[in-house]
Structure 1
Amino acid sequence: MSVAVAVPPVSAVETEKVTPKATQPQINDQIPHLKDIQLPPTNAQLLTQDTEDTPETPEANQDADIELDVIGTPLVNFIEERQQSPTGVIILDQKEIQRFNYRTVGEVLRRQPGVVLGGPPGEDKDVRLLGLPKEYTQILINGQRFPDGGENREFKVDRIPVSLVERIEIISNPTATQNSQGVAGTINIILKKAPDSRISDLTITGTTSETVGPFGGVSLLYGDKQGDFSYLISAGVQQREAPKDKFKQTLDIQNRPTQTERENEDKSQLDISIAPRFVWRVSSRDTLTFDPLFLQTEEEKDATRNVNNQRFFAPSGRLQELQEQTVKIDEDKTITGWRLGGSWERQLSATADMKLGLLFQSTDETKDKVEITEGITNTFRNAAGSPLNQRRNTGTIKRESETKTDEELLGTLTFNFQPWENHKIIVGFEGSLRDREKKKITTEQQTVPTLTPAVERTAPKDIYTIEENQLNVFIQDEIRLGEKHTLTAGLRMEMVDNKATAGDSSTIEQSGTTFNPSLHYKYRVFPTTVFRLSAARTIRRPKFDDFIPFRDTKNGTLLQPDVIGNPLLKPETSLGLETGIEQSWGNNTGAFGLNAFYRWVDDKIENEVNFNPENNRFEQSPRNVGDGKVYGLRLDVQTRTPFLGLPNLTLFGNVSFLGSEVEDQRTREIRRFKEQPAYVANLGFDYVIPEWGMNFGLTYNILPGFENRELKDGKTEVTKQAGENSLDAYMAFRLADNVQLSLFGKNLLAAERSKDRTVFSSTGVFENSRIERETAERLYGISLSWQF
């Protein structure tokens, strides 16, 4: 469950470790590696003695078998991994993923320490580690970034179905072997691997909501090993429905509604995913791996929005104008991403090996949107009773056609070797060529009183191309200092060259090099107690369209400044410190973790409005405005409870206290990072009934509200968002040795997103307030899994 566990740093980039000869077991014993760890099932009883002092019993193994079967994963105790690893990482295994019948990776991550999910309620697509904006979190698939359509370099994790996933790692402070673009942290999604023996699983899921009929999906997992060749076929198709009700209302200084908006939205998504893997051991020293990936999401969105706008005479307060509009939105989007990747691993000697990897990946996103507006505008006279003065009909059609293409060619070369008994050194090289292109065409035409020709409304930054080439070099040394101390030190150099071309063919080039050191220290205080301390430098690169050389000409005033790009924008950099203590007990059936973190963020990027004396106009552009701080505390626990007389009950929970500071460039006030809550917490339990062959449980997510201040169009916008709590539950039955049935419910509290926005003028005078409400529906489902 949501337990902070630890793995060796190279597991996050899937680099195979050196396997010493049998004549050198002491080297492997001193610094174990993930692939070398073979752990037995753990006892279900709460014991005080160490693991090695406690023999297993048949009853313990029998109780463990009652839980959901996990296909394609060796039985590994992650609490034991936590104790042995030199660095700290949170691991989510397949039992955690499968137990609640999560559909996507986003639904899994919502329940983890320090994780906040952005996007509309119920969709869980934008990961926000430490509660920071999504651009501070890095998403990896098998240790490498995957291109996506977002301008913030984010990856929408709702696109990845859990049927493809072996496990998930949440890395708070990276090692030198990992990409540095994760100021808040990194999510590494590891896909299922080729097995050592035959595995097969067919899972069918059906889901329904309160207003949408049945929908569901099917996934297939099949793999085997024939001699020196092993393979895995992992594929799935699933449909997701996300109906929503939205309400917005704007009030003026007299508390009169100047705008009221109601919207009903139906969103349907179809995910198609294929992730095969082929491994061929060519010789005793050479292994070839081929692991392509295909992800496609087709999204259809239909919405009807009713908008009423009102204006009033001053000072009488009589109604001056009433505009009633009906807006119908039809939007179709397709995101297709694929990767062709392979690697060659060669054992150079008993204590050295190398890995050469090459992959090409591409994401194409297309969107077509039609927005039809029909309205009636009534104007009234400034007299008692506000008699009607004039009525006119209005109508427009707005069309958007958008395409985004993001392609990357990446090559990697890694060497692992042990020059001395207590050292393991990794040296690596990575080079990538990336091309990104965006083209968004917007047109608008009037339909009333007569149909007029379409007029193009394309913004200057809606068309661009970017070439981004990168070369990374890293070295890392894992050192055992005696029996209780482990030190992992590394240095990573990242060199980036950018060339950005705007729609008017204006071009700008930029290059830079960053050196990112990292240091991780582990001290085994007692056999079941580990203390950790780490430091690492990370970066956040600018949005793609921030350094495009464009100018969007507005009025040039403080309230409507011109919007321009900033080709001289520098990346944000951060130095992160983390320390924590981890305690296990009960034959590794319980664990407790307490971790504190502090990050200094330099060259923070924010939009800023400045007066340009050369053209006498106000301009808004992203700038490196100053420094910030992020800090907090994470606590997590998991334990079975025989001390309560309930040996089959497992309790788990986590709470993260989050804080940050950044100076407002306008008011000089100290405020938090955008939309960061004060804390986030999760509670849950899992209960096994052996004689019935079933288990059940629930998890409760607590997300408090927050207050955010933002400069927008020369005005200060203050947003207060209420808390969002959610509840998921499940019940699983073993119908036969190879058949499992699960019932589940998601978003059982029908989470509502509630925001109150207040707008102040450039002089700090109140102008208007706005309330927003958005509700997602409950989901109920059934899942049948057959291991054939």
Structure 2
Amino acid sequence: MQTDLILFNSVLLSSIFVSTAAAAPAQPTPESEIPYISEIQLPQTSAQFLFQDTNASSTSVAQTPTSPAEESEEPDIELDVIGTPLVNFIEERQNSPTGVIILDQKEIQRFNYRTIGEVLRRQPGVVLGGPPGEDKDVRLLGLPKEYTQILINGQRFPDGGESREFKVDRIPVSLVERIEIISNPSAIQNSQGVAGTVNIILKKAPDGRIADLTVTGTTLETVGPFGGVSFVYGDRQGDFSYLLSGGVQQREAPKDKFKQSLDLQNRPTQEEREYESKSLFDISLAPRFVWQVSAKDTLSFDPFFLQTNEEKDAIRNVNNQKFFSPSGRLQELQQQTISLDEDKTITGWRLGGSWEHQLSSTADITLGLLFQQTDESKDKIERTNSTTTTFRNAAGSPIDTARPLRNTDIIKREDETKTDQELLITLGFNFRPWENHKFTMGLEGSLRDREKKKISTEQQITPVLLAAVEKTGPKDIYGIEENQLNLFVQDEIRLGEKHTLTAGVRMEAFDNKATAADNSAIGQSGTIFNPSLHYKYQVFPTTVFRLSTARTIRRPKFDDLIPFRESKNGTLLQPDVIGNPNLKPETSLGVEAGIEQSWGNNTGAFGLNGFYRWVDDKIENDTNFNSTNNRYEQSFRNVGDGKIYGLRVDLQTRTPFLGLPNLTLFGNVSFLGSEVEDQISREIRRFKEQPAYVANLGFDYVIPEWGMNFGLSYNILPGFENRELKDGKNEVTNQAGENALDAYVAFRLTNNVQLSLFGKNLLAAERSKSRSIFDTSGVFESSRIEQETAERLYGISMSWQF
């Protein structure tokens, strides 16, 4: 009922905006500013290998005739954003030899998105994980975050997460030139993306002077004003071009959480209410320097700095209750007040450079060197004050005066540091041995070291002061060494005017070493060959058919590779937990077919794509009985195979056929499915937390005579069911759907100043879960409900190009 009401309200609001737009007087439309395809030079897809995004593509593009009707389309009245390429992003998508979704700066900046996570949430098949409103963990195809690969300028950037993920809420949009979402990679792209790859391309050094200053102010319902400042400045002096870009921004993320556990008789055994205040402060710098040393040699230097300071304070009130059996009277009440103070700093930086040499008119070579490091430090103090009251088994449950009131005060401390550093060398070679062949080969070598050290202590303060006791876990201290050598070969073949075949193979050889806290170490090495084949058929000048297949991998989480043992009772309910240094990567063979249709001189496009992936060596948390020691053991193992499949549909178009030439409609829906055999029930279930579908709807309307445009974006995420074995119990989780609504209105004050008003999370998204607990024989034991809400955000932004 609530979902229907939300949908009705959003449709009603959209109707009001559309009615207002329709009432605006029509204006004569000038000639289109979009160039013909034959007039442009396409930039190369940047997810190939390090620093290759600076090269212009040498792919020839056939001229497409344009009808007079198409020439009359009106361009947007928005400001020209800094660094926007001349090429329309729909045009780029159609001309790419492989399937890719491209988001240009106009799309990124339209709704005044603050971070990359907010941008990606509205894209086909994308689900964002993390607390409501934060949008930090990308989950392509609705799969867990470890199946999605995040690249920055074509290379992975280290982060603190154990699942090899990167929290995209840390990257402000002011640094970004464009974003590419790649579903099936080619051989020259990193293979670690079973669900897909998101390549974030930072702004490039310009050919002429550019300057932009943007100031943003935002507010929440319970938090005062906060915001940020970003700048872009660049120019070209002779053979030297440079770009200075960066910014600071503050983000607030307050939360209100509620949890309740019920027993078999539907009595509340635990109630928990938590109020959390989280403040984040981001500092980012992404300069770029390019020097044309000679007619054939180019040097570039690309440093990158990203720091996030996070402060979190929370108060949690917990009531635990026990009842007499069979009377059901209250037996014991434990009241806890838990205060949390946590400070975290994540600092990441990259120093990279490249040398590009033009060997001939048909061949070039690129040598790149990169060093990057991320340091994360966290200090956490948790203080728990607990009061326990006992009652007699009598009418009214009177207090048991024979048993005194018990009061305890405990302090827990955590001091955690993580360091992840990598040295990467790349060598790429491109040449055209024949007119219809573009041959690419390359080498990548990397040395990676990762260290984690978390020291945990617990100390009782009252009723008796005791010495602090160390509670450090067996996998809280470890070291990981990952050395990798990648070789790739690819040939892009033009089979006539309409057919393109891109074939390649990528070899990834790895040598790993995992060291536990006791200095025990186990190594692992291997070689994986990942072939890929992409076929493109230009059916008509505006119609493209694609068919592709590629092999991808998902490497295990870092801490699952540690040789450790955490001894518990060794029973089925409390099994020992062990690491698995011999855990193999999951591998996937993916097939994808799709058709893309554009119209209106690339002001409208429709895409239909189907995909199917076979997953081998699926990694699952599994519990087995070890006959050598007569104990149950739980660890992550390669337990079997799985399947992932679905259909993506996306549409964007202007609507002159409705009498509204200034209205742009856009939307997408992705139908998602998967299969994996449950290790407990042997039933076929979905991958963890994957929804059945995800959809986005929206519109953008321009009123030229007012110098104004406005729009809405509505995100629909249905609920899901998840089953897993946890603490010797079978947990079935049902999460309700989440819907999000964003809106904006922008005014052009002068030729180079734009003012925008925006609202995000206007529906105050709430995350609601219910969990049912069963024993191993399937008998129901208890249930639990969880609710978490995020606040609406309102803001104003002013951009000045000078």
Alignment TM-score > 0.5, same fold: yes
Residue 193 (str. 1) matches residue 193 (str. 2): no
Match of 2:625 in 1: 611
The structural deviation recorded for 1:640 is 0.4
In the aligned structure 2, how far is the partner of 1:570 from the partner of 1:511? 10
Per-residue Cα deviation, 1:218-254 (whole angstroms, up to 9, x for no partner): 0010000000000000010000000110000000000
The equivalences for 1:297-316 within 5 A come to: 297-316=308-327
Query: 1: distance between equivalents of 2:321 and 2:748?
Result: 60
Partner SS, residue 461 of structure 1: coil
- Pick aligned residue for 2:526 from 474, 488, 512: 512
SS in 2 for 1:479: strand
Alignment of 1:385-400 (within 5 A): 385-389=396-400, 390=403, 391-400=405-414
Name the SS for the 2:232 alignment partner. strand
What residue in structure 2 maps to residue 711 of structure 1?
Answer: 725
CA distance in 1, matches of 2:68, 2:369: 46
Q: Percent identity?
A: 80
**What pairs up with 1:179-218 in 2 under 5 angstroms?**
179-218=190-229
The 2-side partners of 1:75 and 1:733 are apart by 23
* Alignment check: 8 A CA contact 2:129 2:137 kept: yes
In the alignment, what sits opposite 2:597?
A: 583
Query: Among residues 760, 778, 787, which one is paired with 2:792 in the alignment?
Result: 778
5+ long unaligned stretches in structure 2? 1-41
| 1:683 matched to 2:681 | no
Identify the residue that residue 3 of structure 1 maps to in structure 2: none
Q: Which moved more, 1:584-593 or 1:198-207?
A: 584-593
Q: CA deviation at 1:395?
A: 1.2
Structure 2 equivalent of residue 15 of structure 1: 52
Match of 2:182 in 1: 171
Residue matched to 2:383: 372
More displaced stretch, 570-579 vs 712-721 = 712-721
2:288 to 264, 274, 277: 277
**Secondary structure of 2:66's aligned partner:** helix
Q: Who is 2:709 aligned against?
A: 695
* Superposition RMSD in Å: 1.5
Q: Would you say the 8 A contact 1:12–1:188 is kept in 2?
A: no
2:127 counterpart (101, 116, 135):
116
Asked whether 1:668 is paired with 2:688, we answer no
Task: State whether structure 2 residue 572 is matched by structure 1 residue 558.
Answer: yes
Q: Is the 8 A contact 2:330 2:391 kept in 1?
A: yes
> 1:279-298 residue pairs with structure 2 within 5 A?
279-298=290-309
2:480: which partner in 1? 466
Distance across 2 between alignment mates of 1:168 and 1:80: 15
Residue 18 of structure 2 is matched in structure 1 by none
Q: Give the distance between the partners of 2:718 and 2:742, measured in 1 at CA.
A: 18
Q: Could you tell me how far apart the structure 2 residues matched to 1:466 and 1:71 are?
A: 41
Following superposition, the deviation at residue 17 of structure 1 comes to 8.8
Aligned counterpart, 1:453 = 467
Amino acid aligned to 1:194:
A
Equivalent position amino acid for 1:162 in 2:
V
Match of residue 405 from structure 1 = 419
List per-residue Cα deviations over 1:152-202 (Å, max 9, x = no partner).
000000010100000000000000000000000000000000000000000
Aligned to 1:93: 104
Contact 1:637-1:654 within 8 A present in 2 as well: yes
1:70-81 counterparts in 2 under 5 A? 70-81=81-92
Q: Per the alignment, in what secondary structure is the counterpart of residue 411 of structure 1? A: strand
Q: Residues 70 and 601 of structure 2 are in contact (CA less than 8 Å); yes or no, is this contact kept in structure 1?
A: no
Q: Who is 2:347 aligned against?
A: 336
1:16 is displaced (CA, Å) by: 5.8
1:437 partner amino acid: E
Counterpart contact for 1:204–1:217, Cα < 8 Å = yes
Q: State the AA in 2 paired with 1:32.
A: S
Match of 1:725 in 2: 739
Q: Residue by residue, what CA displacement relative to the aligned partner does 1:245-270 show, whole Å, maximum 9, x if unpaired?
A: 00000000000000000000000000
Secondary structure of the residue aligned to 2:527 is strand
Report what 2:15 is aligned to. Answer: none
Partners in 2 of 1:772 and 1:69 — Cα distance? 45
Measure, in 2, the Cα distance between the counterparts of 1:368 and 1:535: 46
Q: Quick one: distance in 1 between partners of 2:749 and 2:55?
A: 43
Indicate the residue corresponding to 1:542 in structure 2: 556
1:522 aligns with 2:533: no
Task: Give the distance between the partners of 2:429 and 2:477, measured in 1 at CA.
Answer: 42
SS of the residue aligned with 1:64?
A: coil
Structure-1 separation of matches of 2:455 and 2:396: 46
Task: Tell me the residue number matched to 2:777.
Answer: 763
Structure 1 residue 291: Cα displacement: 0.5
Q: Which amino acid aligns with 2:60?
A: P
After superposing the two structures, state which structure 1 stretch, 81-90 or 182-191, moved more.
81-90
Aligned partners of 1:7 and 1:85 also within 8 Å: no
More deviation in 525-534 or 593-602? 525-534
- Cα distance between partner residues in 1 of 2:76 and 2:772: 55
Choose which of 352, 357, 367 in structure 2 pairs with 1:346: 357
Cα distance, 1:762 vs structure 2: 1.4
User: Quick one: which amino acid aligns to residue 184 of structure 1?
Assistant: A
1:510-533 deviation per Cα after TM superposition (whole angstroms, max 9, x unaligned): 001000000000011111111100
Q: Is the 8 A contact 2:731 2:771 kept in 1?
A: yes
Return the match for 1:255 from 249, 266, 276.
266
Q: What amino acid is the match of 2:202?
A: L
Alpha-carbon distance in structure 2 between the residues aligned to 1:758 and 1:9 = 47
Aligned-partner Cα distance in 1 for 2:703–2:419: 51
- Please give the secondary structure, in 2, of the residue aligned with 1:354: strand
- TM-fit CA distance, 1:375: 1.4
Q: 1:443 aligns with which of 454, 457, 463?
A: 457
Contact 1:18 1:416 in 2 (8 A): no
State the Cα distance separating 1:321 from its structure 2 match.
0.6
Q: Is the 8 A contact 1:9 1:175 kept in 2?
A: no
Determine which of 394, 402, 408 is the counterpart of 1:383: 394
In the TM superposition, what whole-angstrom CA distance separates every residue of 1:471-502 from its partner, at most 9, and x where no partner exists?
00000000001111100000000001001100
Moved over 6 A (4+): 17-20
Distance in 1 of aligned mates of 2:48 and 2:250: 30
Residue type of the alignment partner of 1:89 = V
Q: Report the AA paired with residue 317 of structure 2.
A: N
Which of 424, 447, 452 in structure 2 is aligned with 1:433?
447
1:698 CA drift (Å):
0.7
Shift of 1:8: 5.7
CA contact (8 A) 2:501 2:536 kept: yes
The amino acid across from 2:528 in the alignment is: T
Kindly provide the CA deviation profile for residues 751-785 of structure 1, in whole angstroms up to 9, marking residues without a partner as x.
Answer: 00000011111111111100000000000000011
Contact 1:9–1:87 at 8 Å: present in 2 too?
Answer: no
Q: What CA distance in whole angstroms lies between the structure 1 residues aligned with 2:69 and 2:300?
A: 39
1:241 to 244, 248, 252: 252
C-alpha distance in structure 2 between counterparts of 1:602 and 1:421, whole Å: 39
